[in-house]
Structure 1
Amino acid sequence: MIEFRRYNSVEAREIRDTVLDIFTRSYVDAIASGDPFESADAFGKRFDAYTRGAGFDLVIAHISDIAVGQSWGWPLGTESAWWGGLELDDATIDRAEFVAEDGKRTFALSEIMVDADHAGKGLAHSLHDELLRPRGEQRGTLLVRPDNERAYAAYRRWGWSRVGTLTPRWDDAPTFDALVRALS
């Protein structure tokens, strides 16, 4: 049976080792690739930065009291850099309006990961739904590598649609497809 546990930013920092452990068991191939963006050190730095923001929300899935997956995100505030570098697919969309944030409009789903031993069993979808279930924002956004066919197909099934591309301001960050979905 799966048990979900929810953590705010302070609580998440207290279990940082668990978060990093899930990452290393989930991103085995990515870490082995040697891509600096996928290193455990780079991931840890991003996690530390994310947990400094207001509204950070982490859900960890446990099976037999072992942490086997996690998902997290936060609401985009007025000063959020999330949309920096966004290239919209539809030139008729007013970019300024699309990226205007107030802390209540958009929830950024930053990570979903499941350790390799539990992948492919629906746990990622359960984590996705558990994280988003209580959210009050109008829409969600997430970034996915265009060549990550498995994740991309899942996101489409779960109601996400591409709006453009985005390269985060992190060192060595790749260009992602930016997806959105209505939440409320």
Structure 2
Amino acid sequence: MTEFHRFDHLSAREIRDTVQAVYARAYVEAIASGDPFESLEAAMRRFDAYTNGAGFDLVVLYSDGEAIGQAWGWPLDKASRWWNGLYLDDEDPGFTTEDGTRTFALSEIMMVREHTGRGYARALHDELLGGRQERRASLLVNPTNDHAYARYLEWGWSRAGMLRPSWAGAPTFDVLTRTLTS
């Protein structure tokens, strides 16, 4: 039996060990690559930073009581640094204007390897974004991750540009956006 559990920024911190365990199982190859940005420690430092403020939304998928996947994000406000370093495909001076209700940043979606290929990632995606009040969502995807990129395009996302986050060692990602309907 599978079920979703939702956590805000405070309750997400209470299950930090679960979040870390899912990350470790979902990104075995990335962690093993030795890339400092992909390390478990770096990932958990980012998680800790993301859970510093209200608005953080985490959905964990459990199968028979075991956490097998997770997705998280937060609404962007005026002070958000999400768009720092953005290069747009088409010039749009208002693209990065945020007010806390315009854009939901989908930061992470991951499944442990042995549970991939069953539609769970899409279910996590839909559970996290379903019912959001923001008008659009944004995510960053590594342009060399052909599998994830193809899934996002199938799920209604489109490329808006590219961005290199300010995190140490971060690669350059493609920026995808999608209109949300509640």
Q: Same fold (TM over 0.5)?
A: yes
Aligned to 1:146: 143
SS at match of 1:98: coil
Compute the RMSD of aligned alpha carbons: 0.6
Aligned to 1:114: 111
Do the aligned partners of 2:87 and 2:161 also contact (CA within 8 Å) in 1? Answer: yes
SS at match of 2:118: coil
Do the aligned partners of 2:8 and 2:54 also contact (CA within 8 Å) in 1? Answer: no
* Structure 2: 5+ residue stretches without partners: none
Aligned to 1:182: 179
**Deviation at 1:121?**
1.1
Query: Residue by residue, what CA displacement relative to the aligned partner does 1:23-77 show, whole Å, maximum 9, x if unpaired?
Result: 0000011001001000000000000000012200000000000000000000001
Distance in 2 of aligned mates of 1:53 and 1:145: 26
Aligned to 1:62: 62
Distance in 1 of aligned mates of 2:15 and 2:172: 30
1:159-174 to 2 correspondences below 5 Å = 159-174=156-171
The question of 1:128 aligning with 2:128 is answered no
Q: Percent identity?
A: 59
Query: Counterpart of 1:160 in structure 2: which amino acid?
Result: W
Query: Residue by residue, what CA displacement relative to the aligned partner does 1:142-180 show, whole Å, maximum 9, x if unpaired?
Result: 000000000000000000000000000000000000000
Distance in 2 of aligned mates of 1:11 and 1:69: 17
What TM-score, normalized to structure 1? 0.97
What TM-score, normalized to structure 2? 0.98
Distance in 1 of aligned mates of 2:24 and 2:153: 26
Aligned to 2:95: 98
Aligned to 1:19: 19
Q: Which runs of 4+ in 1 moved over 2 A?
A: none
